[in-house]
């Protein structure tokens, strides 16, 4: 059993800073005994998509619907439940939902509540090498979409709506975790030894106990810190620039958006992708160096848009030159494309981007992280608390949803067999299923990032040949699509 450390939180510069400390013995004086802490079956820290989906799955199952549940979330969930944007605006936090994830969300009653006017399935995908435009791979699936794009707030709102339909549970919204410690040695009536139960003290001063404490609390997970679970990984020294963009009006090269296409080009500094949203909108995810990310965010909108269009059309030498300019990108792109003679062909490149939504341009650092274990006694980690993946495959949220599905099945199995849901022996079913599966995906995305970051000629030639061969091998492409869609993992 791992050594657990008391974990406390303090606020500085508007961020929660988590520190571990060793408590020193001291005397306490009180005129009256505090009320005994309430005991919950499952306490989930983190009200993002992963945490909300877990609670929804547990409430949706007849086997686990009677469990006593609690959710702790530092943000105001009321604003998330009433989230709304105009029809011509989209959140820059969007995710690619695989068919497997969509099936799971449908099973627990969430997907029908997602606003269908704000989701976009895509049936085609084109990926190519930024140093060899002849090296590419294309995927098509006419019967079912490769994946479906949705804004994260759209999904989060649907989850909260679904939870409203189910049996009530305790929600501690706009509440931070002040500390996590081991529980008392006995219950108020001396019938239970609670020393193995995590004791969570909230920012309100209230304390609750958990038979199972679930960390859905992100990269710097205090639940993981309390459990003493280490993580392995590194920072990529890359930032992901995101934005909501609008394409220029449809033309003869670009047909019906009902069969939308996702585009991704691997540049030496990182991949750039345009993922279709409804109508003429798309989500941009551009991996680049921190200095270039800062430069992109500082540009005037028309110059920012010009660089996006350049990134899908120009050779890397031309793009590298344009990236160093402080302005005039629109004119520079127009001149270079006229000289090169770029053809606007949907089979090769996306439509020209016309504009970027005001306030949607943002960036975040990219990291690789994998927890040594997803469980400890009375602890389970899901989503970013367990792993952090490069966004080039669009699998971050899908990995978190797969965690949730596996953990919910594990809890259901334990309840059916009369076991203790916090017992590490039962939780190992979840850990053994998901750790290696996620480790494979983490490894694939990490190696792709590193492989396409190499500009040395022989390596470029070898990877180009490999990509061309895979594109011509139907069975191999079909297998890759199944893996990306979460089938057969």
From CA 338, how far away is CA 358, in angstroms rounded? 29
Three-class secondary structure of residue 218 per DSSP: coil
The length of the chain, given as a count of residues? 489
Write down the pLDDT at residue 20: 31
Which candidate, 121, 193, 128, places its Cα nearest to that of 150? 121
Write down the pLDDT at residue 477: 60
DSSP state of 392: G
From CA 115, how far away is CA 126, in angstroms rounded? 27
What are the helix and strand counts (H, E) for the chain?
13, 21
- Angstrom CA distances, 246 to 243, 281, 282, 353, stand at 10, 4, 6, 6
pLDDT along the chain (489 residues), means of 10: 55 30 37 72 97 98 97 95 95 95 98 97 89 80 88 98 95 96 77 88 96 97 97 96 91 55 93 94 96 97 97 94 95 93 78 96 97 98 97 91 98 97 97 96 90 83 76 65 57
Asked if residue 159 lies in contact with residue 112, where contact means CB atoms within 8 angstroms, the answer is: no
- For the beta carbon of residue 251, count every other beta carbon within 10 angstroms: 12
Asked if residue 360 lies in contact with residue 305, where contact means CB atoms within 8 angstroms, the answer is: no
Write down the pLDDT at residue 6: 60
CA angle 361, 219, 262 (to 5 degrees): 45
- Angstrom CA distances, 48 to 155, 296, 322, 401, 450, stand at 10, 28, 38, 11, 30
DSSP alpha helix (H) spans, 214-328: 222-227, 290-298, 301-311, 316-323
Which candidate, 130, 149, 464, places its Cα nearest to that of 270? 130
From CA 194, how far away is CA 183, in angstroms rounded? 5
Write down the pLDDT at residue 260: 87
Which candidate, 196, 266, 203, 189, places its Cα nearest to that of 72? 203
From CA 470, how far away is CA 475, in angstroms rounded? 9
Asked if residue 213 lies in contact with residue 324, where contact means CB atoms within 8 angstroms, the answer is: no
**pTM reported for the whole predicted model:** 0.88
Write down the pLDDT at residue 137: 83
> Looking up tokens 């571990």, which residue turns up?
20
């Amino acid at each position: 059993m791992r050594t657990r450390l008391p974990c406390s939180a303090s606020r500085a510069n508007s961020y929660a800073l988590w520190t571990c400390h060793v408590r020193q013995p001291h005397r306490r004086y009180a005129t009256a005994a505090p009320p005994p802490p309430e005991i919950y079956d499952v306490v989930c820290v983190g009200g993002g998509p992963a945490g909300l989906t877990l609670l929804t799955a547990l409430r949706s199952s007849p086997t686990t619907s009677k469990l006593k549940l609690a959710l702790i979330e530092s943000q105001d969930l009321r604003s998330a439940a009433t989230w709304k944007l105009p029809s011509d605006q989209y959140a820059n936090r969007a995710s690619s939902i695989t068919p497997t994830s969509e099936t799971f969300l449908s099973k627990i009653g969430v997907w029908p509540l997602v606003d269908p006017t704000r989701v976009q399935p895509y049936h085609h995908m084109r990926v190519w090498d930024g140093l060899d435009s002849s090296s590419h791979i294309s995927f098509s699936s006419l019967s079912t979409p490769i994946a479906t794009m949705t804004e994260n707030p759209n999904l989060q709102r649907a989850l909260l709506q679904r939870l409203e339909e189910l049996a009530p549970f305790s929600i501690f919204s706009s509440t931070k975790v002040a500390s996590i410690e081991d529980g008392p040695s006995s219950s108020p009536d001396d019938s239970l030894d609670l020393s193995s139960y995590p004791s969570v003290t909230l920012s309100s001063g209230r304390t609750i106990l958990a038979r199972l404490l679930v960390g859905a609390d992100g990269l710097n997970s205090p639940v993981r810190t309390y459990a003493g679970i280490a993580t392995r990984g590194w920072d990529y020294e890359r930032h992901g620039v995101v934005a909501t963009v609008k394409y220029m009006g449809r033309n003869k090269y670009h047909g019906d958006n009902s069969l939308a296409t996702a585009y991704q080009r691997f540049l030496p500094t990182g991949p750039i992708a345009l993922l279709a949203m409804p109508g003429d909108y798309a989500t941009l995810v551009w991996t680049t160096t921190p200095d270039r990310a800062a430069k992109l965010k500082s540009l005037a909108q028309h110059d920012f848009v010009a660089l996006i269009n350049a990134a899908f059309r120009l050779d890397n030498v031309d793009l590298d030159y344009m990236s160093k300019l402080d302005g005039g990108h629109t004119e520079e792109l127009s001149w270079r494309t006229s000289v090169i003679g770029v053809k606007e062909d949907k089979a090769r490149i996306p439509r020209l981007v016309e504009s970027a939504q005001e306030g949607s341009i943002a960036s975040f650092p990219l990291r690789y992280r994998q927890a040594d274990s997803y469980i400890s006694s009375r602890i389970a980690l899901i989503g970013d608390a367990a792993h952090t993946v490069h966004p080039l495959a669009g699998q971050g949220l899908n990995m978190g949803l797969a965690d949730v599905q596996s953990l919910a099945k594990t809890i259901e199995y334990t309840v059916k067999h009369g076991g203790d849901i916090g017992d590490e022996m039962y939780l190992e079913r979840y850990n053994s299923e998901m750790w290696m599966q996620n480790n494979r995906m983490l490894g694939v995305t990490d190696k792709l990032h590193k492989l396409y970051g190499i500009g040395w000629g022989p390596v470029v030639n070898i990877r180009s040949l490999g990509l061309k061969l895979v594109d011509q091998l139907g069975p191999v492409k079909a297998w890759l699509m199944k893996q990306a869609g979460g089938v057969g993992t």
